[in-house]
Chain A
Amino acid sequence: MLHIINKSPFGHETLATCFRMAQGGDVLLIEDAVYAATPGTALESLIKAALERFNIHVLQPDLDARGVGAEIIEGVHAVDYGGFVDLVTRNATSQSWL
């Protein structure tokens, strides 16, 4: 299953809730959720722990649009929109955690 997160983890609980509730699979960070993939933040340890259970992807164009595309947490996989499409088609279902 693909879990799509679009909110900053610094103002919303959707990413933390997803990690708590979901049974593994793919997580894609888009829009303001891409901040979760930036290293050196208070949430880096949460992401690193989640990487043991989830494949975490981040949308590179949304990182670049926010000027934080230079570096992402090791283990997080950057994708473009084509990669986003592949994640949707590869998973039987997708859930947008709005």
Chain B
Amino acid sequence: MKLGILINEGPYQHQASDSAYLFCKAALEKGHEIFRVFFYHDGVNNASRLTEPPQDDRNVVLRWSKLAETHHLDLVVCVAAALRRGIKDENLAPGFRISGLGQLVEAGIQADRLVTFGD
């Protein structure tokens, strides 16, 4: 089944990104396809390659990048939400791309299910 994911909260502040990541991993292990992960509102902060968490903590941003690389995920960051928060192409973590809300609408249409993680 094709699944779309919407993440509305940033890393380390709220559990949304952690929950979504573990959900995606479980879905991929079960053979489902992640059609797209869309980062909106404060969720765009998950895409900053400038984050440097302590070494003994989980690296939320890197974790998404690695999952995207392994499973060819489409990690899309909302452009308006990103520019408001200083997320630009030059500080975007690997595997993420900046695009518009149309990508969320398309995920809602193309995916069989859309699951929202937020606050």
Contact = CB atoms under 8 A, between A and B. Distances in A.
B115 A94 contact: yes
A81 interface: yes
Interface in B13-38: 15-16, 19, 22-23, 25-27, 29-30, 32
Contact of B116 (A61, A84, A98): A98
Chain B interface mostly: mixed
Interface in A22-62: 30-31, 61-62
A22 to B, nearest CB: 16
Contact of B118 (A61, A62, A89, A96): A96
Contacts, number: 51
Contacts of A30: 19
Contacts of B16: 6
A4 B115 contact: yes
Contact of B29 (A31, A82, A89, A98): A82
A88 interface: yes
Interface residues of A, number: 18
B30 A85 contact: yes
B1 interface: yes
Contacts of B116: 4, 94, 96, 98
A89 B115 contact: no
A96 B115 contact: yes
B119 A85 contact: no
Contact of A88 (B25, B29, B113): B113
9 closest residue pairs by CB, A with B: A81-B26, A96-B116, A85-B27, A31-B15, A98-B118, A82-B26, A85-B26, A81-B22, A89-B1
6 contacts: A61-B22, A81-B26, A88-B113, A89-B113, A94-B114, A96-B118
